[in-house]
Amino acid sequence: KKEQLQLLAEVEAVTRDGERLTLAANISSFKELETSLKHGAQGVGLFRTEFLYMDRSEFPSEEEQFEVYRRIAERTNGQSVVIRTLDIGGDKQLDYLSLPEEDNPFLGYRAIRISLDRHDLFLTQLRAILRASAFGDVKIMYPMISSVDEVRQAKELLRRAMIQLDERGEAYNPDIPVGIMIEVPAAAAIADLLAEEVDFFSIGTNDLVQYVLAVDRMNEQIAHMYHPYHPAVLRMLRMTANAARERGIEVSVCGEMAGDERAIPIWLELGVGKLSMSPQSLLRVKHRILNTTASEAREAGRECFKLGRSGEIERLLSEYVTPVV
């Protein structure tokens, strides 16, 4: 079975009736990039840079970051690489950045909130990413965005980083695409406004589900309440996808849901054409897409939006995804 799946690495992800999807990889290291390329990933849809900052005693320098980003950009041979800026805080801590103890770390000082507060750290990372953009199709993405103001501040700092590089005579792509994660309910609710500000959205379902349902994604005791197929989550997905379509910007999904075959009818119905997932999920999801008829799947997807309970939606989708023999 594994060998058979491996044969699909070079095959395009196209449904039986000819609809093409892009399958990219979520990675946090160079090693994972190699695995994803072996599994036929079409670029990197999410590079979690926090792992560059973890398990060490000080912040990585611009040079150090640049080397990693450049290597990844070069290795993906012209396919796009979405580099997400530091998403620390919440469950991820740094020994050398003493963050205050918080009662609610997931609602606290994390991700873009830290970056917009610590310009020194943010500008260093932005310069490193910009410099890598001279070596491949690099895109930049901000995590945990919840307002238009945050996007504007981040864009202003990106301009500042560009000026700093100009002063040093360093090369970069001045038109580097800028996108945001949609993973806070507020962002989904104002997706139409945010779509005016950026080049692409990537839906982070891991956090989005946690915040929409107020269910801690790490808490075992309430794990049974963590429902990616809750109607409230689907509505958030729809709002986001509609806003992207109306504004003509790309929308992809990079949470765990992207690697769940059951969700394919939802993506087809919403017009989400790009899925980014862990390298281990790529071939399995592709196999499912190759065995899917988009027109039928879309109908199942549409039905999901009429159902009021997670269980019903999951059942419908599971029945739709009959095991492929």
Interface positions with ligand PEP (CB under 6 A): 46, 48, 87, 183, 204-207, 254-255
Going residue by residue from 189 to 218, which x/- string records binding to Mg ion, judged by CB under 5 A? ---------------x--x-----------
Q: CB of 146: closest distance to Mg ion in angstroms? A: 12
The CB-based long-range contact list for 25-30 (8 Å cut-off, 24+ gap) reads 25/276, 25/277, 25/278, 25/279, 25/282, 26/254, 26/276, 26/277, 26/278, 26/279, 27/72, 27/279, 30/68, 30/71, 30/72, 30/75
User: What are the phi and psi torsion angles at 141 (to 5°)?
Assistant: -140, 135
d(CA 272, CA 264): 9
d(CA 186, CA 264): 25
Nearer to Mg ion by Cβ, of 255 and 279: the residue is: 255
Report the partner that residue 264 touches, choosing among ligand PEP, Mg ion, none (CB closer than 5 to 8 A by kind). none
Q: CB of 269: closest distance to Mg ion in angstroms? A: 24
Nearer to ligand PEP by Cβ, of 32 and 183: the residue is: 183
**Contact (Cβ atoms closer than 8 angstroms) between residue 23 and residue 42:** yes
Report the partner that residue 205 touches, choosing among Mg ion, ligand PEP, none (CB closer than 5 to 8 A by kind). ligand PEP
Report the partner that residue 255 touches, choosing among Mg ion, ligand PEP, none (CB closer than 5 to 8 A by kind). ligand PEP
What one-letter code names the amino acid at 163? I
- Positive or negative: CA dihedral 225, 226, 231, 235: positive
Any residues with CB less than 8 A from the CB of 222 and at least 6 apart, and which? 215, 216
Q: CB of 167: closest distance to ligand PEP in angstroms? A: 33
d(CA 323, CA 325): 6
Report the partner that residue 146 touches, choosing among ligand PEP, Mg ion, none (CB closer than 5 to 8 A by kind). none
Nearer to ligand PEP by Cβ, of 211 and 320: the residue is: 211
Residue 256 is a binding residue for Mg ion (CB under 5 A)? no
Report the partner that residue 254 touches, choosing among ligand PEP, Mg ion, none (CB closer than 5 to 8 A by kind). ligand PEP
250: helix, strand or coil: strand
Task: Describe the crossing of helices 294-304 and 310-320 by its angle, rounded to 10 degrees.
Answer: 170
The CA-atom distances, in angstroms, between 188 and each of 103, 118, 244 are 25, 26, 11
Q: CB of 204: closest distance to Mg ion in angstroms? A: 4
Q: CB of 204: closest distance to ligand PEP in angstroms? A: 3
Nearer to Mg ion by Cβ, of 216 and 303: the residue is: 216
Nearer to Mg ion by Cβ, of 277 and 300: the residue is: 277
Nearer to Mg ion by Cβ, of 183 and 250: the residue is: 183
Q: Kindly identify the residues of this chain, within the stretch 5-34, that bind Mg ion according to CB under 5 A.
A: none
Judged by CB under 5 A, the residue of 50, 62, 150, 183 near Mg ion is 183
Pairing outcome for strands 81-84 and 22-27: unpaired
Q: CB of 15: closest distance to Mg ion in angstroms? A: 29
Q: CB of 105: closest distance to Mg ion in angstroms? A: 13
| Rg, the chain, Cα only | 19
d(CA 251, CA 263): 15
Give the number of other CB atoms < 10 A from CB of residue 279. 21
Which residues make up the interface to Mg ion (CB under 5 A)? 183, 204, 207
